[in-house]
Amino acid sequence: MHQEAAAEFKFNTPVFYLQKRQIKGAESNVSRLARLCWKYNIPPSLLFNEFLKDGTNVNRSFFNFEVASHLNSYTDKTVILDDKLNRLLGVKQNAHHSYRYLNGILDQRAHGFLSENKKWCATCYRERQQDTRDSFENGVFDDLYWSVDAIRICMLHGTALRNKCANCFSKQPYLSTTVEPGYCHTCHSFLGDGEAASVDEEELSRQQTLFYLFYICTYDEFRPEMARLIHNLQALREAYPSATSRYLGELIGVSEDVVRKWIGGSRKPRLDSLFRLQVALGLSGIHQLFLPDTEFIARIMMSKNLALNFNARSRFKDIKKEQEIKEFMLAMIEGEEETMSRENLAKKFGVSVGYLKSRYMRECEHLSRVHKHRMILEKEQRDADFAVQLDRALSMVASRKKKWTIENTLAEMPAGAANGIDFQELFIAFGKAKERLLERRRKKKS
Ligand SMILES: [Zn+2]
Ligand SMILES: [Zn+2]
């Protein structure tokens, strides 16, 4: 790879090299550029104009914000710059340090997507500085997601991201053209200093919905794909025939035509449309729009947000049944429904016991315990009731001066009172009833 890059940029040795980071998640392109300039002691504008620019030269002010909107975003320009920077550093072309994975998903108007000032986590800075204190590389680097405007917290530490130096309170350019990465552009003090502000619960949970798309999805294995979303919207229509383009459009405030174009692939949704769609479908995060179709439909069913009729003949009918079984099992476990044996449950839903065991292992175990417990309680109650009846019947036998036998006693009981009790149990119960009667008589005498 180095050789190819060297040829492209007309060098006869490999170009630049940055030590690979061990921490997962994506470092931003701006951060890579900053470290590269610092390591090789090249003024950022010189490096950018020489190797990366597409058009006119840039000057220093470019590095306040524009550098991020060019290098960290998801526009066509970002894709080109991402590739160029990868070539320059001799790294694989699919190593992304921008939101280019959203290039295939979102509308190009990325205005307002990135925050105008650099944000960073002071705790992350401190940890990164310690990790690499002994190495020759400069240690501090910026995570890609910190540059997203909507993101206000560090996803690792749950603390507020900072946008001002703790020492001089000045805001920072995305890339300082004069100071080492991690240090204040104005007063040169370390940007990892100072206490991090904590974040309240409400804000934390709000940030959770941003977590997946802008943080987890920066990991290679979680990239969302537009084809998935299109497929899922088609699946939605299959499961709920009234979920037409028109219906969805009304739900999220865009025209029917726009939704049709998304599905047809000729137009990409805007980010806020995706957020509205997620809320309308009752999903817990925007990432769920990109799940495999059966999981996608299952989540929507579970949320019960769509007041539409389900197509019971669609290929998702099994999901519906699965969900009904699960809900019924939970109701039994919670005591809202009377428990039943696994065999009866299987019969009720027309599935096999093996299916229940494999599909709902945890619930089955839990339900067995609950059901067994109920059976024991019921038996105890039945035994107690039966003992009372036996006592009464045996007293009758005695008062009629009849022989104290099981047969005579049963004759004094209501028909069927001993049903379901085997002879041995009956024998023991009768013996105990006799003892109790003798005991009562002894007590009377004394
Ligand atoms: Zn952090
Ligand atoms: Zn400062």
pLDDT at 391: 93
User: Does the pLDDT at position 316 exceed 70?
Assistant: yes
pLDDT given for residue 191 in this prediction: 95
Q: How far apart are CA 383 and CA 184, in angstroms?
A: 80
Residues of the chain above pLDDT 70, percent: 93
Report whether 14 contacts 6 (CB < 8 A).
Answer: yes
* 299 Cα to the center of ligand 1, angstroms: 31
For the domain covering 226-315, report its CATH number. Answer: 1.10.260.40
Is the pLDDT at 290 greater than 50? The verdict is yes
Quote the pLDDT of residue 14: 46
Ligand nearest to the CA of 127: 1
Work out the angle at residue 66's Cα, subtended by the Cα atoms of residues 64 and 72, and round it to the nearest 5 degrees: 110
Tens digits of residue pLDDT in 371-426: 999 999 988 888 888 899 999 999 999 999 999 999 999 999 888 888 878 888 88
Q: Is 235 exposed, middle or buried (0-12, 13-18, 19+ CB in 10 A)?
A: buried
How would you classify residue 182: left for phi > 0, otherwise alpha for psi between -120 and 50, otherwise beta? left
User: Which one of the ligands is nearest to 159 CA?
Assistant: 1
pLDDT at 13: 46
Distance, in Å, from the CA atom of 362 to the CA atom of 204, rounded to the nearest integer, reads 30
- The token pair that represents 44 in the structure block: 């950022």
* 3-class state of residue 23 by DSSP: coil
Considering every ligand atom shown, identify the ligand nearest to the alpha carbon of residue 171 and give its number: 2
Residue 179 has pLDDT above 90, yes or no: yes
Provide the whole-model pTM: 0.69
Length of the chain: 446
Ligand 1 centroid from CA 121, angstroms: 5
Note whether 98 and 144 are within 8 A (CB).
yes
Measured in Å, residue 64 CA sits from the centre of ligand 2 at 15
DSSP-assigned letter for residue 197 = P
- Do 367 and 339 touch, CB atoms closer than 8 A? yes
pLDDT top residue among 428 and 420? 428
Counting residues of the chain whose pLDDT is more than 90, the rounded percentage is 58
Give me ligand 2 centre to Cα 17, in Å: 29
Q: What are the residue boundaries of the structural domains of the chain, listed by start?
A: 1-222, 226-315, 379-445
Please give the DSSP secondary-structure letter assigned to residue 62: G
Residue type, 60: R
Q: Is 93 a residue whose pLDDT tops 80? A: no
Question: Is residue 28 predicted with pLDDT exceeding 60?
Answer: yes
Looking at the CA of 182, name the nearest ligand: 2
Q: Within a 10 A sphere around the Cβ of 176, how many other Cβ atoms?
A: 22
Asked if the model's pLDDT at residue 136 lies above 60, the reply is no
Mean pLDDT across the chain, nearest whole number?
Answer: 88
